[in-house]
Amino acid sequence: DAGVIQSPRHEVTEMGQEVTLRCKPISGHNSLFWYRQTMMRGLELLIYFNNNVPIDDSGMPEDRFSAKMPNASFSTLKIQPSEPRDSAVYFCASTSRGGAYGYTFGSGTRLTVV
């Protein structure tokens, strides 16, 4: 298994532009999580899905952020419009058994908004 695959690995964009981050979870995993990591705040949960259904999006900072999971093998996190304070590393993780045991993280997307 190739693990959790995220793209792009790095993204540099100008303030106000739309940014789309992509994630392919491990086949067979039914839970998917989006986290954001910064030096100041550490790893923060943004949203998670069980069986493609969003369960908790209370961590999504504001309406500029949206996430979708149209099928079991693909999820996107979109920021529109982007702002400099969105600069962070965004991680996707997946797991099976509907819970936290055995999270596997992707390599992350480093987003820089200038």
Partner 1 sequence: EDKVVQSPLSLVVHEGDTVTLNCSYEVTNFRSLLWYKQEKKAPTFLFMLTSSGIEKKSGRLSSILDKKELFSILNITATQTGDSAIYLCAVDQAGTALIFGKGTTLSVSS
DSSP 13-60: E-TT--EEEEEEPPTT--EEEEEEEETTTEEEEEEEEETTEEEE-TT-
- Using rule CB under 8 A, residue 42 touches partner 1: yes
Q: Give 68 or 81: the residue with its C-beta nearer to partner 1.
A: 68
Stretch that binds partner 1, among 19-27, 66-74, 76-84, 103-111 (CB under 8 A): 103-111
Residue (of 20, 8, 22, 18) closest to 82 by Cα position: 18
Q: Is the distance from CB of 13 to CB of 82 less than 8 angstroms?
A: yes
- Using rule CB under 8 A, residue 65 touches partner 1: no
To 5 degrees, how large is the angle CA 53–CA 66–CA 73? 45
- Using rule CB under 8 A, residue 25 touches partner 1: no
- Using rule CB under 8 A, residue 5 touches partner 1: no
Q: Give 82 or 94: the residue with its C-beta nearer to partner 1.
A: 94
- Using rule CB under 8 A, residue 61 touches partner 1: no
Residues listed for the chain: 114
Q: Give 84 or 102: the residue with its C-beta nearer to partner 1.
A: 102
Q: Give 38 or 80: the residue with its C-beta nearer to partner 1.
A: 38
